[in-house]
Amino acid sequence: MPNRVADALGLSPIKALTDKEFAAFQRLIHTEVGIFLSDVKRPLLVGRLTKRLRELGLGSFSAYFAVVKDDAAERQRMIDAISTNETHFFREPKHFDFLTGTVFPALAARRTGKGERRIRIWSAACSTGEEPYTLAMVLLEHFAPADGWEIEVLASDISTRVLARARDGLWPLAKSGEIPQAYLKRFMLKGVGDYEGKMKAGPEIRRVVSFFPNNLLAETYAVKGTFDAIFCRNVLIYFDTPTKLKVIEKLLAHLDPEGYLFLGHAESLVSLGGGLTRELHSVAPAIYKLGPAPSRRHR
Ligand SMILES: C[S@@+](CC[C@H](N)C(=O)[O-])C[C@H]1O[C@@H](n2cnc3c(N)ncnc32)[C@H](O)[C@@H]1O
C-alpha cells in the first residue's frame, strides 16, 4: 500500500524496502526454503509481507527481519506468505494417463503374492491437496481395497497454511470442472447448507491420504520406506541448480528401484547437465526411472 494511502487511512507508514533489506530476505528465504527471489520478485515480497508488518505494528522491513530471524513461528508465517501454491486436480493430465496406462499395469503384474498388494505414492509439494487427492482417486479406481489392495498416499509441503487447507479438503464448487465426471461422482461430496457452493473430499479418498509438513531442503525427510512413485511437481522450478540436485538425490533415496519420479513439465532434468550421482532415464515427458535407459543396458 503506498504510504499516502496508508496516511489517508490513518495507518502508520512503512519505510520502503531498501536494497540491503531485500538482499537479507533473499538470503534468508534461499537458505530456509530454497527459493531464490530474483530482483523482479521484489514487489511480490513487499506485497506479501506489508500486511504482516502492519499487523505487528512494525515500521520497516529491517524490524520485521529481526523478528523472523529469531522466531521460528514467524519465519513459518513468512514462508506461508511468500510461497506460490497454484495447483489443480488432474494437473498435467498426461502424467495420470501414464500412471494408469503404464505404472499401474506393471504394479498389478508384479504384486501378485500374498501380502504384496500395497502401493505407496508421495506427493512431495502437495499445496492445497489437489495433487494427492487426484492420486487417491486414480489409485482407488484401479486397486480396490476390497480386493486386498492397501493404498497409501503421503502428502507434504513446507507451508502449514496450505497443509491445513489440504486437510480440510474443501474447495469452491467451480473446481469440480477439473475432475472427470466418474471420479467426481464417486469420490467428492457436493456441499449443502453451510457448505453450499463448496465441494468436499469424500471419506474414501480421505482414508488413504495423510498430510505432514516437510521441507525439501531438510537434511532428512519425515518419511519412512520407499515409494512406487514420487510426485515433486512445480516446485523445483523455484530452486537453483545445486538445490535442485540436492533435492532430487534425497528424493531418489526414497524411490523404489522400480519406482517413478514425476516432475513438473517445465522441470526437465536435462537442464541439470547430469550432475546427479545416480543414473536416471526418462520414460515420458518429465517422468524418470532409476538406472540407464533400456537401449544402453547389456552392451
Ligand atoms: C506451485 S505448488 C505445486 C503444487 C503441486 N505439486 C502441483 O504441481 O500442482 C508449489 C508448492 O511447493 C511448496 N514448496 C516450496 N518450497 C518448498 C520446500 N522447500 N519444501 C517443500 N515444499 C515447498 C509450496 O509451499 C507450494 O505449495
Instruction: Going residue by residue through the chain, which has 299 residues, state the pLDDT in tens, using 9 for 90 and above.
Output: 455 555 555 566 899 999 999 999 999 999 999 988 999 999 999 999 999 999 999 999 999 999 999 999 999 999 999 988 999 999 999 999 999 999 999 999 999 987 899 999 999 999 999 999 999 999 999 999 999 999 999 999 999 999 999 999 999 999 999 999 999 999 999 999 999 999 999 999 999 999 999 999 999 999 999 999 999 999 999 998 899 999 999 999 999 999 999 999 988 787 676 788 888 999 999 999 998 888 766 55
Choose the residue to mutate in 41, 158, 211, 219 for probing ligand 1, maximizing ligand atoms within 8 Å of C-beta.
158
Using DSSP's 3-state secondary structure scheme, residue 258 falls into strand
| 162 CB within 6 A, ligand 1 | yes
Q: Name the CA radius of gyration of the chain, rounded.
A: 22
| 83 CB within 6 A, ligand 1 | yes
| 103 CB within 6 A, ligand 1 | no
Are the C-beta atoms of 254 and 220 separated by less than 8 Å? no
| 194 CB within 6 A, ligand 1 | no
CA dist., res. 199 & res. 196, Å (int): 8
157 is catalytic: yes
Question: What pLDDT was estimated at residue 2?
Answer: 52
Contacts of 26 (CB under 8 A, 6+ apart): 36, 37
Q: Nearest CA to 227 among 132, 134, 86?
A: 132
| CA-proximal residue: ligand 1, atom 6 (nearest) | 233
| 134 CB within 6 A, ligand 1 | no
Give kind and range of the element (H or E) at residue 277: none
| 86 CB within 6 A, ligand 1 | yes
48 is catalytic: yes
| CA-proximal residue: ligand 1, atom 2 (nearest) | 85
CA dist., res. 276 & res. 189, Å (int): 43
| 286 CB within 6 A, ligand 1 | no
Question: What pLDDT was estimated at residue 114?
Answer: 79
**Ligand 1 centroid to residue 48 C-alpha, Å:** 17
Question: What pLDDT was estimated at residue 298?
Answer: 57
**Ligand 1 centroid to residue 236 C-alpha, Å:** 8
Are the C-beta atoms of 254 and 122 separated by less than 8 Å? yes
| 217 CB within 6 A, ligand 1 | yes
Question: What pLDDT was estimated at residue 297?
Answer: 64
- HSE-up of residue 29 (Cα within 13 Å, Cβ side): 25
Out of 77, 120, 157, 228, the active site residue is 157
Out of 48, 52, 54, 167, the active site residue is 48
**Ligand 1 centroid to residue 31 C-alpha, Å:** 16
Are the C-beta atoms of 275 and 247 separated by less than 8 Å? no
